[in-house]
Structure 1
Amino acid sequence: MKKIIYLVFWAAMILLSSCATASLSKYHGIGRVKKYDIYSTQLPDSFDGFRIAFASDFHYESRFGKKRLSGLLKALQATDADLLLLGGDYRGRNGGNLSELFDVLQQFHAPYGAYGVMGNHENNANYEIVRQEMQRTGIHLLEHQVDTIWKGNQYILLCGIRNPFDLTKNGVSPTLFLRPEDYVIMLTHTPDYVEDVDVSNTDLALAGHTHGGQVSLFHKYAFAHFSKYGNRFLTGLKYNSKGIPVIISNGIGTSRKDIRLFTPSEIVQIVLHKGR
């Protein structure tokens, strides 16, 4: 009897989730484009209004499959972003033709390029597959590296974290060697990294991995915990214990169960502003 109730529950959740995505989204297979306005006095003047598109956790193909690629491109184009950032977990647990995914990402021409980090699903053979696809499509892989985004004679810094789950090898943040007065964006797969590690000199961190819990209540409580901090870093704009802001995306695909409820898949749009 308990098994029947369990199956009925999940069937209802899948139906509700599918209906919500179909009825509310303007982008087939992508629940929404979520915008954040981020203000900082340290931002160089020329970057006032600079737009970033952030996409993470594709898990291609999970629930996010080939039929939804056109919706992904449409959602990215809606951001009108200057820079594209990718947060890892590109391939689904059942595999998928990543050339199809990266061909679509390549069609989005961000004027200041595209950068990405790896996720926990980029292990063994997946790592090399993703690395080759990034190289083929001109996406810069940042693994414990810092790159400079120039606009005229002013710049911001972009830092990417290598395997944030292995703190024995990667527990020292590259931002520690940067100047406090520089504006620094950190790209890491999991938000836990900004709490586990000293990420001083970071002005804004971007992360995924949590999927928003995939099934949540009131956007605050989730049954599936992808973070060791539970619901603290579930989704949205949060802060670590030192007050550094981290934007956590619900991601695109699904993991464990191919279901979403009250946690729409999303592309994140960040607009940087000069000021408090």
Structure 2
Amino acid sequence: MNTISRRQFLQKSAQVTLGLLGTAGASGIYSHWIEPYWLEIKYVDITLPRLSPAFDFRIVHFSDLHQGVYSKPQALTELAQQIQQVKPDLICFTGDLLDHSADYISEAVALCSQLRAPFGQFAVLGNHDAFGTRKVVTKGLTQSGFHVLHNEHIVLTQGTDKLYIAGIDDPWVGKADIAQALLHIPEEACTILLAHEPDFADDFCKLPIDLQLSGHSHGGQVRLPFVGALYTPPHGSKYSSGLYQLPNSQLQVYTTRGIGVTRMPVRFNCRPEVTVITLHS
């Protein structure tokens, strides 16, 4: 049996400790300076049985810009370019344009003003928008060419075919009214709902909604292998990232990981995401 001296033991311990500290330091640098700005363009195919073939088209869905002290102007330029390069037919933003301060609205407006799609640009407010920057965000999005859906819907038409886009005020801290948003939409119509917090889908699953687009969770921002997200916000933990089919319902939910960060300026194993959704009838 081999034995090691006290000195050798201390040397080995020091090497292991330094290795762990080095790994932690490298992970900290990566999660703060690299991954939060390493944008992923994620392509997803979603089939909606009630969709008309006339709307087999492409939606860009993005969320949670959280423009603020942790944002980089050059990242906004890249974001705008990436969105426009995929040539979306429709653009949907699902809330939290600003992190906390209205001081950053001009940067957010400059980004959104660059985004255009043939069938339009639509948005709803998130909980951060509703905390105190509601009027500023609504005005900024409107000025930049987005139609902010406050408990209402619009109808897209191609000939005699129709697709309904509904949007509600933030379900958590706003004044959401799903009945008002869906009012007068035909029962058999295909409807896409924009709602900031994904977990409210459980309240909507018996309603005539085919697809809900949400954000809010940031995917957790930090996801560890075999563990998953270390933290998800209220109403963003059950459907925290990706596509879900609700049981005993026609409703599907897609939750994007969002663009920005909040609380902590880090992302790990959870890159910022722009989702390119191709709808299929």
Do these two structures clear the TM 0.5 threshold for a shared fold by scoring above it?
Answer: yes
Match of 1:78 in 2: 85
CA change 1:168–1:66 in 2 (3 A) is closer
% identical aligned pairs: 28
> Which 10-residue stretch deviates more, 205-214 or 176-185?
176-185
Contact 1:64 1:252 in 2 (8 A): no
TM-score (norm: length of structure 2): 0.83
Is the counterpart of residue 187 in structure 1 residue 201 in structure 2?
no
Contact 2:216 2:236 in 1 (8 A): no
What is the CA–CA distance in structure 1 between the aligned matches of 2:44 and 2:236, rounded to whole Å? 23
Q: What is the RMSD computed on CA atoms of the aligned residues?
A: 2.6
Q: CA deviation at 1:152?
A: 2.9
Contact 1:62 1:254 in 2 (8 A): no
> Which 10-residue stretch deviates more, 71-80 or 173-182?
173-182
Is the counterpart of residue 45 in structure 1 residue 59 in structure 2?
no
Mapping for residues 193-272 of structure 1, pairs under 5 Å: 193-198=200-205, 200-218=207-225, 221-228=228-235, 230=237, 232-243=238-249, 244-272=251-279
Q: CA deviation at 1:213?
A: 0.2
Match of 1:25 in 2: none
> Counterpart of 1:43 in structure 2: which amino acid?
L
> Counterpart of 2:85 in structure 1: which amino acid?
A
CA change 1:44–1:15 in 2 (3 A) is same
Mapping for residues 19-58 of structure 1, pairs under 5 Å: 21=35, 29-48=37-56, 50-58=57-65
Match of 1:15 in 2: 29
What is the number of residues matched between the two proteins? 260
Q: CA deviation at 1:14?
A: 3.1
What is the CA–CA distance in structure 2 between the aligned matches of 1:68 and 1:247, rounded to whole Å? 24
> Residue 165 of structure 1 aligns to a residue in which SS?
coil
Match of 2:7 in 1: none
What is the CA–CA distance in structure 1 between the aligned matches of 2:48 and 2:60, rounded to whole Å? 18
> Residue 274 of structure 2 aligns to a residue in which SS?
strand
> Residue 139 of structure 2 aligns to a residue in which SS?
helix
What is the CA–CA distance in structure 2 between the aligned matches of 1:237 and 1:269, rounded to whole Å? 12
CA change 1:121–1:55 in 2 (3 A) is same
Q: CA deviation at 1:247?
A: 0.4
What is the CA–CA distance in structure 2 between the aligned matches of 1:100 and 1:163, rounded to whole Å? 23
Q: CA deviation at 1:87?
A: 0.6
> Counterpart of 1:236 in structure 2: which amino acid?
G
Match of 1:87 in 2: 94
Match of 1:103 in 2: 110
> Residue 70 of structure 1 aligns to a residue in which SS?
helix
Return 5+ residue gaps in structure 1 as ranges: 1-6, 23-28
What is the CA–CA distance in structure 1 between the aligned matches of 2:43 and 2:231, rounded to whole Å? 25
CA change 1:95–1:58 in 2 (3 A) is same
Return 5+ residue gaps in structure 2 as ranges: 1-20
Contact 1:60 1:91 in 2 (8 A): yes
What is the CA–CA distance in structure 1 between the aligned matches of 2:134 and 2:23, rounded to whole Å? 36
CA change 1:164–1:43 in 2 (3 A) is same
CA change 1:60–1:19 in 2 (3 A) is closer
Question: Which structure's CA Rg is the greater one?
Answer: 2
CA change 1:55–1:140 in 2 (3 A) is same
Q: CA deviation at 1:158?
A: 0.3
CA change 1:220–1:115 in 2 (3 A) is farther
